[in-house]
Each structure stands twice: as C-alpha cells, then as structure tokens.
Amino acid sequence: MDRRSFLRSVGQVGTVAGAAVAAPAATQAEGYRRCADPHLKFVAEQVTKWAQELRDLNYVQPREVRATDHIGAVEQGVAPEWYWFHPDQSQPHQHPPLAPGAARSPRPQHIRRDADEQIVELAACDFVTQIIPGWVTHVLGYGEVHRSADGKELSCQPQTPGPAFNVRLFHPLIVRVHNRIDPHLHLEVSVHQHGGHIPAHSDGHPNFLILPGERRDYFYPNSVPLQADLQGNQWVPRDGEWDTNETQSTMWYHDHAEDITAHNALMGLGGLYFLRDSREDELRQQGILPALDHEIPLVLKDVCLQPITDESLMLCKVRDEVEKLKKAGESIHGEARIHFDPFDHNGTLGNLVLVNGQAYPFKAVRPEAYWLRLLNASLARFYNLEFWAVHPTTLKHRRLTFLRFGRDSWMFQHAISQTSVFLSMANRGDVYLDFAQCLAEDWKEYWQDDQLQVLMVSTLNQKDGRGPGHGDNEATATELPRGAANELPEDRTDSLPLIQFRVQRGGEVVPQPTHMTEQVELRPHEQLAIPENVRVREFNFERGRGAWQINHRFYDSCTANVVHDLWSTELWILRNRSGGWWHPIHIHLESQQQIYVQARNQRGERIVLKRPDYDVHRFCRDRNIQLELSAEEIETADEKWKSSFAEMQNHSSDDPDKLKFDQTVWNLEIKHDTHVLGPNTEVHLLMRFRTFEGPFVFHCHNLNHEDMRMMYQMDPRERTQSDVSVADEELRVRGSHWYFASNAPHHCHEEPSGGAV
C-alpha cells in the first residue's frame, strides 16, 4: 500500500477525522500534537488506579508439523535455509533453495537442531476490547489459530500484547502468520523477531509483506551462530562448535511493515519471545534464577485515548460491540479510540501508559525474589524505572534496590546492583527484584496489615517526541525551552506510576536466601577481538529534507546500502547529528559490542567509555572522527564514570545525591541490539555477520522516524576470492534474495553508486 492509501485508511482505524466529540469527564488536549488540539482525551485522573489485576500473558502451544501443513506452500514460500534440511520438498512455485551464484554449497551444518520443526499459527486481526473498563477500543493484535487433527480451525482469540513464545534452543519453529485484518483497512503486515538470529526471508523485512488475506511461513531456527576463526583475511566457521555465549533470552516480535510500522505497533501488533536453554535450567535449579511461576513479563506502551459517545461517530465494530454489551446489561459509556497522527514525525507519545495492555494494573506478590522481564514497546517514550515502597500514611517513598542481569536479548556475565532501569524504545531489561528486602526491621513502618505497596514508576517525564528532557509538570516546562534535553534532571516529584505490586506476607514468613549476587557467573561473555584490518563504516543519523536520514539518504528498499562479507567482523561508528532528538538504533541479525562511547545522559552527565585495547585514532585514522576530548581526558572521564557506581554502593539508595544513571545503557562488557544515541552521542561498536545472507535492515526504533525513512539496508554475502569486491558500493538488492512478490523474485531498479560508507 502506498502512503496516500495509508493516510486515507488510517482515519478508519486510529483517528477521529475532524469531528467534535464530547464526554462529561474528558479534558481538552493541550498544545502538543501527540493528541490533536481539536479532540478530547482521557487523562490519568479519569482512570481508576490499581483496580484491575495484571493480566497474565497467554503462551503459544506449538505442535508437530503435519503433512497437511504443506510448509512453504503459501504466498512467498518459506526461507531457502529451510531446504538445507528438506532438499527434496521444493514446490514448483517455490523460490529455489539455492539460487545460482547465491551460495556456494548447501550448509545444513550452519544451523543446529536437536528436534524436528514444530509449527505455530498466528493471525493478525483487528478486534475490539476494553482498555479502560466501560469504554470499547478498536485494536490490532495476534491470535493463535488452534486446529483439530484433520486441519479444521477450532478457535482464534486475538489479544494485545500477542501470545508469548516459550521455545528451546536448537528446537526450530515454523510460525505461519495469516493477515486477517479487515481488508477495508488496507493494512499489510510483516513480523520481525527482534533480537533473533534468523534467515532474511523470516526477519520481518519492511518490504516482505503479508497482504490482506495472505499467509507467510516464518522459519525460526532458534539456533546460535557457529564459532569462527580468523585465517589470513578470512573468517572460517568451526564445524560443530556453537557460540552458545550468544544464546538469547528475552526477545520480542512486532510488526515491521514499511511506512506503517508505527501505526501497526501502536495499535497492538507485538508480543514477547523467550528462548530457554540448559544454562538457564541450571541457574534455576541452583536457585539463582526464580522459579517459572515467579517470572513477571511487563510490556510497557503509552497511548492517547479519545472518548466518543456519539454512536454515529463510532467505528462500526465498536458500535456493534457497544450495543451488544448494553443489551447484556453492562455499563458502557462509549468508544475510547487510540489516536495516531501520521503527520507527527517527531514521535508519537501517549498520556496513558499501559502495562500488558492495561492501564494502572496491580500484581499480588510474596516477599520473595521475582524475575521482571521488562519491554519498552512504546513508539517514542523513554522510561527511567524505579521501585518505590510507599508509606501507608505519609505517602513518602523509599527506593528498592535490585540486580540488573540482562539487557536486550542477552543475560550479563555478572549481575549489577542498581536503583533504576533506563529503557529506550525496544530495549528489554531483566531485573531480579527481591521483595524480601522489605522484611528488614528498618522497613517496618511501610507495612500495614501484612501488606506493603510497591510502585513501579518512571521518573523520566517526557513531553516531546524528540526524547527525554521535557517534564510534564508546569514548572519544568516553563523553566526549560524545548530541546534542552541535556539540562533537565529526572523529576521525582511528578513521577509516572505504572503498576502497583502488593507485597503480602500473610502468616509466618521465612525469608528465602537471595542466591543471585554480583559475583555469580550467569552466562559467559567473550569480548570480540578487533581484527587488524577491520573495515570501518560511519553512519550519521540526521534530520534532512523534512524527515529523517542516514548519511544524507532516505531509506530505499531496493538498495543494499552496505554489502558485507559473510563471516566478517566490522567496526561501525554510529553518530547522532540531529540536534536535540534521541535515536535508539536497532541493528538486525546479531548482537553488537560497544568499544567506545561519547555521550551525555538526560541529566547532562558526561559519559565516556573506551575499551583499553581500542585506539580510536589507530583504527579510524582516515575517518571524520569528531572527538570532544583528548586521549588523556578520555581516560580520566572513563575512570570517573566507572568509579561513580562503585561509590554508589557505599550509600543508601535513598540518598538522592548518589542516584546514578543506569550504567547498562552504554556498557562495554555486555551485548546490545539497540543502541541509545542521545543528542551528539557517538558509539563505536563491533558487528559480526554470520550464517545468513541478506538483505537485513537497521534503523531508528522511534518508529515514526523509521517510517519517515531513517533506515538502511545491509546485505551480507558469501563471496569467493574471484568475486569483485563491492563492499564500498551501493547496489541493488539481488533478485534471487528478494521475497516481495508472491510467486517470483521482485526485481528492483538499479541505483547509482554514491554516498558510500
């Protein structure tokens, strides 16, 4: 669908087109266009807090593949890599598993599998639900399709967030996705498994679309890359030696359709994807990780809801549901429509934050340790999360400490003691929160009738889609102009409450020992060596020609902006040149390791990190590196930043002067897949290309920025010594690796070389 068709259709899905609406308790929207001026919106004061119990997520139930499933016999087939294990099952309409010249030989040894494939069927649907009790909302979501043994469909109940995945390492999975969204809405979909190491065909490429009424088979190997050795100028994979240090843990999936990703994600197309392995089993058996029933997934997403009481203005599905519920005797006030402004290129912000699709839920817990699996699924909102015990009478708060042991898809080697979690869009955070700390004598005054109230709050009040730096309260908005992101501290006097934990001790409670410590090794982490002849690439993220660009160019799905040698390691420099805007940059395919960071956080603190073996000028001597500091100043700033966290451990978490910025945002000793580029931030990282050929993409995860062209295409290719080196040129995407058309490769037009990186 082209942009004009989308703009015409989006009014049917997420906006109130020019109509005056009214509701008794509604409040006029203020000036910012995140909730358009002429319309009304719900505000936090209108929603009853802590009245709904947090809804548990449903989990998919994979089944064995049956002959009647006909894997690949759908639009756009299945990933060619699937034929590495099934070479005799090619369908006449299917792309050849190995197109001429695309790969040198079948490579089944490059994917390990310990079991036969299983299959899950998901349907992307539009449906109605009640985000706020008494108000009906039209949303998008995924539902699992259940079938009988003879293939007859039994049920499909869509939900948002979508059903979560619980899968095992080396157990491959086929996910067949149906696009069942009302065809009158003209919405294509494309499912991206965020953080996975999967074939290009199944990566949710923005242009590998599932059209209305069609299906696509996604092949998720749930494997890890082979280890590789550097021999001369070639990286050679080791047969049978798997890089299990790369085993993912907390991933997620979401829509990635070109031009409409922001809309589809805001409306609800997303869910969690957990990969488990023997190392996680060991940690749980040893009592280091909490039991499975002590895992709490928390998906955060902000929305702006507009109340509509005039039935003539309601969407048809909503009006039908309202009439049905009223006839059943339920108290229904009208429609609460999700507002989306397709012309807002800064970033879509909502004023209500949903947790697992609910506004202000509560969760009953025991004074024991829990694994909180946090996901920021918002379009443009950042969060700085803290956990506050609230005094029952004075309402003063006291912060809880916790262990942070994972970021993005990977666990750390060692947990880190912290008091806050900073999450940019798409970031995940694994938190070991032990409520037993509140049983100590000095917490006694916070208990009332064997119950303690703990709030998860965000102290980062953000009013502008460009990023942190604008408090929502009147004082900070008045004192600081727009764009002063580096000068505004977090605002703990006007925090955003998200979820209430009700800690219930009931009867005699024997505190369980805390097994996770900062000394326990969780998952080994090996720092990547910097190849002597490493290829260096620079990517400047900037504003240009009214939208968003990388290296002065807009995204073109037919152009391979960067072409890499398969089994190579490259050094990438990510630089934010867009002024006050923030950009979380997500790179598909593999994890990345940061080796140099020059940044300021939202409180204006300077952060400079450098790996000891990384000489910026040696490896980037011919590059346009703009360093603010000399080599001596870099070393001093690096040590000062590290020592500030060691100093914090010797002070109470209640000391506001010792509250430090989350040290995992920029960190040289962990893995990342989404890098936070604040204003004038520069991040140098090592990026590997293993197993799968492209095309893949990388982009800003402020999804309005992504849709407005802040995205590039990378195309790892396997080449022989006789191949002409094209790594510095921009090429068209290879037709044999393009899965856009239903029955044949889509041939893009040739793009002239230029703007090489």
Segment among 305-314, 464-473, 497-506 with least mean pLDDT? 464-473
| Look-up of token digits 């065809």 | 183
- pLDDT (mean) for 527-552: 92
pLDDT at 720 over 60: no
What stretches of 210-277 show up as alpha helix (H) in DSSP?
A: 261-267
Q: For residues 410 and 670, is the Cβ–Cβ distance under 8 A? A: yes
pLDDT at res. 655: 54
Q: For residues 693 and 580, is the Cβ–Cβ distance under 8 A? A: no
User: Using alpha carbons only, what angle is made at residue 702 by residues 698 and 703, rounded to the nearest 5 degrees?
Assistant: 80
Determine the Cα–Cα distance for residues 740 and 355; give it in Å rounded to an integer. 35
Determine the Cα–Cα distance for residues 117 and 94; give it in Å rounded to an integer. 19
Determine the Cα–Cα distance for residues 270 and 118; give it in Å rounded to an integer. 21
Q: For residues 50 and 361, is the Cβ–Cβ distance under 8 A? A: yes
Query: For the segment 435-447, what is each residue's pLDDT rounded down to a tens digit?
Result: 999 999 999 999 9
For 320, the enclosing helix (H) or strand (E) is: helix 316-327
Beta strands in 82-147 (DSSP E): 118-129, 135-147
DSSP-based three-state secondary structure for 334: strand
DSSP-based three-state secondary structure for 159: strand
DSSP-based three-state secondary structure for 667: coil
Tokens linked to 105: 């030989």
β-strand partners of 599: 607
pLDDT at 543 over 60: yes
Q: Looking at domain 535-737, which CATH architecture does it have?
A: Sandwich (2.60)
Question: Taking the CB of residue 607, how many other CB atoms lie within 10 A of it?
Answer: 20
Laid out side by side, the sheet with 674-677 consists of 562-565, 711-717, 696-700, 583-587, 674-677
CATH topology of domain 63-91+110-291: Immunoglobulin-like (2.60.40)
Determine the Cα–Cα distance for residues 580 and 125; give it in Å rounded to an integer. 37
Sign of CA dihedral 467, 472, 478, 479: negative
β-strand partners of 555: none
pLDDT at res. 718: 81
pLDDT at res. 466: 85
- pLDDT (mean) for 597-605: 82
Residues in the chain: 757
Contacts of 280 (CB under 8 A, 6+ apart): 249, 289
Q: For residues 362 and 428, is the Cβ–Cβ distance under 8 A? A: no
Contacts of 231 (CB under 8 A, 6+ apart): none
Query: For the segment 250-298, what is each residue's pLDDT rounded down to a tens digit?
Result: 999 999 999 999 999 999 999 999 999 999 999 999 999 999 999 999 9
Phi, psi of 210 (to 5 degrees): -100, 110
More confident residue, 626 or 671: 671
Strands 226-231 and 234-242: antiparallel
Determine the Cα–Cα distance for residues 418 and 403; give it in Å rounded to an integer. 6
Q: For residues 680 and 600, is the Cβ–Cβ distance under 8 A? A: yes
pLDDT at res. 493: 63
pLDDT at 484 over 80: no
* Per-residue DSSP letter, 657: G
Same CATH fold, 535-737 and 292-304+341-459+495-520? yes
Determine the Cα–Cα distance for residues 226 and 235; give it in Å rounded to an integer. 11
More confident residue, 727 or 59: 59
Query: For the segment 182-228, what is each residue's pLDDT rounded down to a tens digit?
Result: 999 999 999 999 999 999 999 999 999 999 999 999 999 999 999 98
Distances (CA, A) of 407 to 81, 236, 672: 29, 29, 7
DSSP-based three-state secondary structure for 430: strand
pLDDT at 33 over 50: no
pLDDT at res. 45: 84
Question: Taking the CB of residue 470, how many other CB atoms lie within 10 A of it?
Answer: 26
Strands 696-700 and 583-587: antiparallel
- pLDDT (mean) for 617-635: 65
DSSP string, 451-512: EEEEEEEE-----STT-S---SSHHHHHHS-TT-GGG----GGG-EEEEEEEEE--S---PP
Beta strands in 47-156 (DSSP E): 52-53, 63-64, 118-129, 135-147, 153-156
Q: For residues 467 and 599, is the Cβ–Cβ distance under 8 A? A: no
pLDDT at res. 394: 92
pLDDT at 324 over 90: yes
User: Using alpha carbons only, what angle is made at residue 698 by residues 97 and 692, rounded to the nearest 5 degrees?
Assistant: 25
Segment among 28-32, 538-542, 681-685 with least mean pLDDT? 28-32
pLDDT at 643 over 70: no
DSSP-based three-state secondary structure for 594: strand
Tokens linked to 217: 């088979």
- How many percent of the chain have pLDDT more than 70? 78
pLDDT at res. 724: 45
β-strand partners of 565: 717
- pLDDT (mean) for 121-135: 96
| Look-up of token digits 């992504």 | 706
Rounded to whole angstroms, the maximal C-alpha distance in the chain is 77
| Look-up of token digits 């197109």 | 99
| Look-up of token digits 């008794």 | 24
Q: Please report which confidence band the pLDDT of residue 334 belongs to, taking 50, 70 and 90 as the band edges.
A: very high
Determine the Cα–Cα distance for residues 542 and 552; give it in Å rounded to an integer. 7
Sign of CA dihedral 283, 286, 288, 294: positive
Tokens linked to 14: 């997420």
R_g of the chain computed on alpha carbons: 25
More confident residue, 514 or 675: 675
Determine the Cα–Cα distance for residues 117 and 133; give it in Å rounded to an integer. 41
Determine the Cα–Cα distance for residues 596 and 376; give it in Å rounded to an integer. 25
pLDDT at res. 204: 96
Determine the Cα–Cα distance for residues 571 and 532; give it in Å rounded to an integer. 11
Q: Please report which confidence band the pLDDT of residue 686 belongs to, taking 50, 70 and 90 as the band edges.
A: very high
Taking the model in full, what pTM does it have? 0.89
Contacts of 91 (CB under 8 A, 6+ apart): 70, 72, 73, 77
pLDDT at 26 over 50: no
pLDDT at 644 over 80: no
User: Using alpha carbons only, what angle is made at residue 422 by residues 417 and 423, rounded to the nearest 5 degrees?
Assistant: 125
β-strand partners of 700: 585
Q: Please report which confidence band the pLDDT of residue 601 belongs to, taking 50, 70 and 90 as the band edges.
A: confident
Tokens linked to 263: 């809309």
Residue type at position 414: H
Phi, psi of 415 (to 5 degrees): -70, 160
Q: For residues 483 and 602, is the Cβ–Cβ distance under 8 A? A: no
pLDDT at res. 495: 84
Burial group, residue 533, by CB count within 10 angstroms (0-12, 13-18, 19+): exposed
| Mean pLDDT, the chain, integer | 83
Determine the Cα–Cα distance for residues 537 and 684; give it in Å rounded to an integer. 10
Tokens linked to 603: 């409180």
Question: Taking the CB of residue 463, how many other CB atoms lie within 10 A of it?
Answer: 19
**The domain made up of 292-304+341-459+495-520 is a member of CATH 2.40.10.220:** no
* Per-residue DSSP letter, 451: E
pLDDT at res. 656: 47
Burial group, residue 650, by CB count within 10 angstroms (0-12, 13-18, 19+): exposed
Domain ranges of the chain: 63-91+110-291, 292-304+341-459+495-520, 535-737
Query: For the segment 356-374, what is each residue's pLDDT rounded down to a tens digit?
Result: 999 999 999 999 999 999 9
Contacts of 489 (CB under 8 A, 6+ apart): 603, 604
